[in-house]
Amino acid sequence: MKLGISELETAPIALGCMRMSDLTKQEATNVIDASFEAGINLFDHADIYGAGTSEEIFASALDESSVKREDILLQSKCGIRHGYFDFSKTHIISSVDAILQRLQTDYLDSLLLHRPDALMEPEEVAEAFRELKESGKVRYFGVSNHHPQQIELLKQYVEEDLIINQLQFSLMHTPLIDAGLNVNMQNKESIVRDSGLLAYSQLHNMTVQAWSPFQFGMIEGVFIDHPDFPEVNAALQEAAEKYGVSKSAIAIAWILRHPANIQAIIGSMNTERIQSITQALSIRLTREEWYGLYRAAGNNVP
């Protein structure tokens, strides 16, 4: 798949590196090698992951890895500070310089604005993006956790294409699709909470990157094998047995089945689990299976 309208080729699964700060250099090297061998070539970072330590360990591990910088895509995010958000030109540019130093690279393939800044001045963002693009420090840009109007506001000033929106989405966290299945109804599922983000993303060819694809609630825990969710786990197990893969692979295959050009960001630092999850790349669920899993997750189909 390609990220948005860019020329960046990637797999439908990427590795989120938030937990890499907990690894030794050798462990991180093993994770990079196992991920690349399984078909993953995009590694997602943020300047707040491990207070920058995740990026430092990744760079050190990549240096020991058989994987070369030119064979992968490096993505990072900025804008979250201690207790507030900051999309000022000064902060964006200084953040990128620090990210590049920690990652020991000359450029990022993609930079995302991490969470909306209520005090954002889009003119400043545009200036920062222009400088970063012209200097060769960032190839492409995007956002994370932004709704369509915020993206449209940015696009009025930013000359560069916004190719990505990173959003929480999983089988047990489905606000992105609930309202679209309950149009003109009076139940709570019909409430539009995101201004139609998935349809907007498809209309504007923005890649949705699904973060926390195994979480329920607001990252309250993993639903796979969780005793509070017997029905969805039974449905996952049935599909897993049919396709000869893990339940985690089915949960990712459910995300990838949606036609909105979604890329799942997995966060495992376990090499065997990474290999197990990427089995999803060989699966295409039927409509009956997709809706069956959606219902098993506690949702009604009107």
d(CA 171, CA 131): 39
Cβ distance 92 to 78 under 8 Å?
yes
Burial of 177 (0-12, 13-18, 19+ CB in 10 A): middle
Residue type, 121: E
Letter string b/e over residues 25-40, b meaning 16 or more CB atoms within 10 A of that residue's CB: bebbbbbbbbbbebeb
Q: What is the DSSP letter of 201?
A: H
Letter string b/e over residues 245-255, b meaning 16 or more CB atoms within 10 A of that residue's CB: bbbbbbbbbbb
> What is the token pair recorded at 301?
């189909």
Burial of 272 (0-12, 13-18, 19+ CB in 10 A): exposed
Question: Measured in whole angstroms, how far is the alpha carbon of residue 240 from the centre of its chain?
Answer: 24
Task: Please identify which of the residues 49, 200, 243, 294 carries the catalytic annotation.
Answer: 49
How many residues are present in the chain? 302
CA distances from 293 to 150, 217, 220, 239, 289 (A): 32, 17, 20, 9, 6
49 is catalytic: yes
* Positions marked active-site: 49
